[in-house]
Amino acid sequence: MATKNKATNSNILSIDIGGTSIKTVLLDEDGNMLTEYLKSKTPAEAIPKDIVTGIIDLIKPFPITYDRVSIGFPGYVKNGVVKTAPNLAKNKWEDIDLAQRVANALNKSVRLVNDADQQGLGVVEGKGFEIVFTVGTGFGTALLFDGELLPHLELAHFPINKEEDYDDYIGNKAFEKIGTERWNKRLKKVIDIYKTVFNYDALYIGGGNSKHIDFKLDDNIKLVSNRDGIKGGAKLWKLADKYNIFTVEPKS
């Protein structure tokens, strides 16, 4: 539910782009929701134009009481430019200036990061070494220490066997192919690997397929929702000076 906080032009439009859906909400500077959480279906094999149009259509009900936009994107992002998008249209996303395109379309300042990184900012407690998983269309990860983002690593594309990387192994295509029981066994295996390799203090698991988890989680593992994660869009601006995150301004 939205809060009753007064909307001002210092608000933030937070957007979460996924392989299945585009989500958005209007936040105040502290991450409180000022509007209802809206989502729409991501077009199959979405190209950049589809995503920009989808954002514009989705936010039509919102008042223009924001001056900044945060976007979480399912791929590797550098300085507002998309480098990879494994779960959108193939061969259509290399070196795409998505932040600039959205900034121009909305006439607002934009910060674009990996979607798991944005979710991580929204859900972690900020104590010690924390990891975020997103198990949805693909497999996303974010690493944070004492609440601060560490450099983003596309851990989903490390090989887990001779034929598959983590994205192949635990993503939605695998879920649909092998079913809930085998998928849960695979997720257990991935968690065990991360426990051994990273020795994290806390692990957070979100994304659309997290609702299918049917095994008991360790005490330091917590399920989180996309609604919680999208609140990271506020921290992306509030704490961004620490992270040196690139800001893209609209061009006339």
CATH of residue 29's domain is 3.30.420.40
pTM (2 d.p.)? 0.92
Confidence of residue 241 (pLDDT cuts 50, 70, 90): low
Q: What residue spans of 29-171 are helical by DSSP H? A: 48-58, 98-106, 115-123, 166-170
Number of domains in the chain: 1
DSSP states along 44-59: TT--HHHHHHHHHHHT
**Does position 240 have pLDDT exceeding 60, yes or no?**
no
222 is in which domain, residue-wise?
1-252
**Does position 242 have pLDDT exceeding 80, yes or no?**
no
Reported as type and span, the H/E element at residue 233 is helix 232-238
**Does position 7 have pLDDT exceeding 60, yes or no?**
no
CA-CA distance, 169 to 176, in Å (whole number)? 11
**Does position 243 have pLDDT exceeding 70, yes or no?**
no
**Does position 171 have pLDDT exceeding 70, yes or no?**
yes
Joined together, the tokens standing for residue 98 give 């998505």
Q: What letter represents residue 192's amino acid? A: D
For residue 1, the model assigns a pLDDT of 36
> Which residue carries 């997290």 as its tokens?
210
pLDDT in tens, 64-73: 999 999 999 9
**Does position 103 have pLDDT exceeding 50, yes or no?**
yes
